[in-house]
Structures are given as C-alpha cells and as structure tokens.
C-alpha cells in the first residue's frame, strides 16, 4: 500500500516543481516598461516610480504656476497704483505735442577729438535723447555725420542705441538732406542773437567737445558755407562767471524748455547748472553798483577778489544740490535707455 502511494506523491511534486519553473520563466520573460524583455533593476524601478509621480503632480504644478502669475500681477498693479510719479508720467506722455522744429547735433568733428572727449560727447547725446523722450514738446531729433570714433564707442558701450526711438541717426552730413535756407547754426561766436525760435527751421548744434582748443570753428564753418547762424539770447537774461559756452545737452534742454514755457529766462535758469554762477542781468547790475559803492567806501578792495568771493558764494551752497541733481539725471537717463 505504501509503495503505491510514494510514486504517486513524487510524481505530483515533480509536476508542481515544473509548473513553478515555468511560471518563473514566464515572469522573467515579461517585458519591462521601455526595456524590452530584459528584467527591471531596482534603480530603473525607482525611475519609473518617480516618472509616474511627476505625471500625477503635473496638474498641481500647473495650478501653482497660475497662482504665482496672478500674485505677481496683483503686486505690480498695487505698485503702479501707489507710485504717483509713475502715474503722473503716464498722464504727461498722453499730453505730448510733437514740435515740427528740427534739432540737429552735427557730429562731423570726430577727427578733432580724443577718445576721452568722444566719450563725453556720447554721454551728452544720451542725455539729449532721454530729455527729448520725456519732453512735453519733443523736437525732431537728428544725429548727423554719425560714424568714426563716436559710432565705435556707441557700438562698444551702448549697443541699445540701434533701438532708439524718435530720433534720426544718419551717416550723411545735414546739408545733404536739409535745404540751406532752413538751417540755423547755433554758435556762441555769432553776432546774431535769437529772439524766438522758428519751428519751421532746423537748428544745428556743433557736436564738438574740445575745451576751447578750436574756438570759433563752428561759426567759421557756418559762415564759409553760407548757413545762417545765431546764438541763444543768454546775455540778455543771464550774467555768468564763466564764458557763454554751454554743453551740447544744456543747449538742447534749454530749447526744449523754451518750447514748453516760451520764456527764455525761465528756460535758462531751469537748465543752467549752479556751477555757472548764473544770476539775472538786473540783479547782476544791482550787485555791480553795490560793489562799486562798497569799494569807494573801503578804498582798498580789489574787484577781482570780490568777484572770486561772489563766485565761491554761488558755488558752495549748491554742491550737494548739484550732486543730487546729477545723480537723479543719471538714473533717469539709464531708466529710459534701458
């Protein structure tokens, strides 16, 4: 009896072993995700789980990004509402009325300047551009004879100039595209004094930073080419300690200010820097007569020394104010350019 049972039991156990082996083989032959028929390692399994988790959280990440964008938009809106200066600037820009007056910076003196002065010219042009963009009555701004050292310096240090708006930058000389009868060259050496601006004209400012090495050059060129010339009526309204030679951007800004106020004196005293020691001509006359009386009474004061003291009194109280103004102008220029 026992001999009959044993063979049957062994046969049954052999069958079970074969089934287990077949199942193991089938399990091993099942394809992994993206791995063909090779078995999946623990590292691959972790990657698969991470990928699955990433896919499951896709919608959650999308929702978080939306919330972040909405939050930033609300912050910007609150900042704009609280920033009165920004809102005022937007309101002012809507009131802009463009002037037909053409204002040209003549850059044909490139070969007469060293690199240091070229860089100063570039900075003054930047200020002209920034002020024209902010003005209530912006002019038709031209930059002519653009090339040489100036263009190279702008390409290297201010690549954004190619995207400037509301400006005509031309390599040609201004005489090639503007009629001679429309031109007026602004030079402090001219005997002609402007009374008012004719907005049908094209006024030329010499783009020359030379520290008086080429005195009278722009006046000489204008006369030789038969171009009308004139100087701003500075002497009629202002008494200054220094010569009546202004920086390019100061001439440019005075014209912008005059177009807005139609008042030369207000334009001069709004724009001229404190270091020029500018005072109204009537006050200058009063001061001069007072000094003469004082000199006669004292009998020993030197007029040059008193003038030097007046100059120091004009300059010293405004040093901090001048520095603050220059810093604010610099930040304004950078914000507009960029």
Q: Lowest-pLDDT range, 27-36, 41-50, 262-271, 274-283? A: 27-36
Mean pLDDT, the chain, rounded, equals 77
SS3 label, residue 323? helix
How many residues in the chain? 338
pLDDT at residue 96 above 70? yes
Pick the catalytic residue: 117, 158, 210, 228? 210
Q: Based on the residue annotation, tell me whether 166 is a catalytic residue of this protein.
A: no
* High-pLDDT (> 90) share of the chain, %: 45
* Tokens found for residue 18: 């074969």
pLDDT tens digits, residue range 9-40?
455 555 555 555 555 555 555 444 444 556 78
Decide which of 94 and 281 is more confident. 281
**Distance in angstroms (rounded) separating the CA atoms of residues 174 and 178:** 6
Residues 6+ away with beta carbon under 8 Å from 284: 239
Residue (of 98, 128, 325) closest to 207 by Cα position: 128
Q: What's the pTM?
A: 0.60
Angle between helices 115-134 and 319-337 (to 10 degrees): 80
pLDDT tens digits, residue range 159-186?
899 999 999 999 999 999 999 999 999 9
Residues 6+ away with beta carbon under 8 Å from 125: 105, 143, 207, 248, 249
Walk me through the domains of the chain, giving residue ranges and CATH numbers. Answer: 102-282 (3.40.1280.30)
Residue 228 belongs to what H/E stretch?
A: strand 228-230
* Tokens found for residue 206: 């010499």
pLDDT score recorded for residue 310: 37
Q: How far is CA 42 from CA 46, 47, 49, 88, 168, in A?
A: 6, 9, 10, 64, 68
Decide which of 65 and 219 is more confident. 219
pLDDT tens digits, residue range 44-59?
888 888 888 888 888 8
pLDDT score recorded for residue 39: 78
């Amino acid at each position: 009896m026992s001999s009959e049972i044993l063979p049957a039991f062994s046969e049954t156990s052999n069958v079970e072993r074969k089934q287990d082996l077949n199942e193991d083989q089938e399990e091993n032959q099942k394809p992994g995700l993206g791995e063909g028929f090779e078995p999946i390692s623990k590292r691959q399994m972790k990657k698969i789980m991470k990928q699955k988790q990433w896919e499951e959280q896709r919608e959650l990440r999308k929702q978080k990004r939306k919330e972040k964008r909405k939050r930033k938009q609300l912050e910007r809106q609150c900042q704009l509402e609280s920033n009165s200066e920004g809102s005022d600037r937007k309101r002012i820009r809507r009131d802009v009325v463009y002037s037909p007056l053409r204002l040209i910076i003549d850059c044909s003196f490139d070969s007469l300047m060293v690199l240091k002065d070229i860089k100063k010219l570039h900075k003054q042009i930047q200020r002209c551009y920034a002020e024209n963009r902010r003005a209530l009555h912006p002019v038709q701004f031209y930059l002519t004879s653009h090339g040489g050292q100036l263009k190279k310096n702008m390409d290297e240090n201010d690549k954004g100039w190619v995207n400037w708006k509301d400006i005509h930058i031309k390599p040609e000389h201004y005489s090639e595209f503007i009629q001679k009868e429309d031109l007026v060259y602004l030079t402090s050496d001219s005997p002609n004094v402007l009374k008012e601006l004719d907005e049908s004209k094209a006024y030329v400012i010499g783009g020359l930073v030379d520290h008086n090495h080429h005195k009278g050059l722009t006046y000489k060129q204008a006369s030789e080419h038969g171009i009308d010339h004139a100087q701003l009526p500075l002497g009629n309204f202002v008494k200054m300690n220094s010569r009546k030679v202004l920086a390019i951007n100061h001439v440019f800004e005075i014209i912008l200010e005059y177009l807005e106020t139609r008042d030369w004196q207000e334009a001069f005293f709004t724009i001229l820097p404190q270091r020029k020691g500018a005072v109204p001509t009537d006050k200058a006359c009063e001061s001069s007569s007072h000094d003469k009386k004082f000199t006669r009474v004292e009998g020993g004061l030197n007029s040059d020394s008193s003038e030097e003291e007046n100059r120091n009194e004009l300059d010293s109280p405004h040093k901090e104010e001048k520095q603050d103004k220059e810093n604010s102008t610099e930040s304004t220029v950078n914000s507009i350019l960029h």
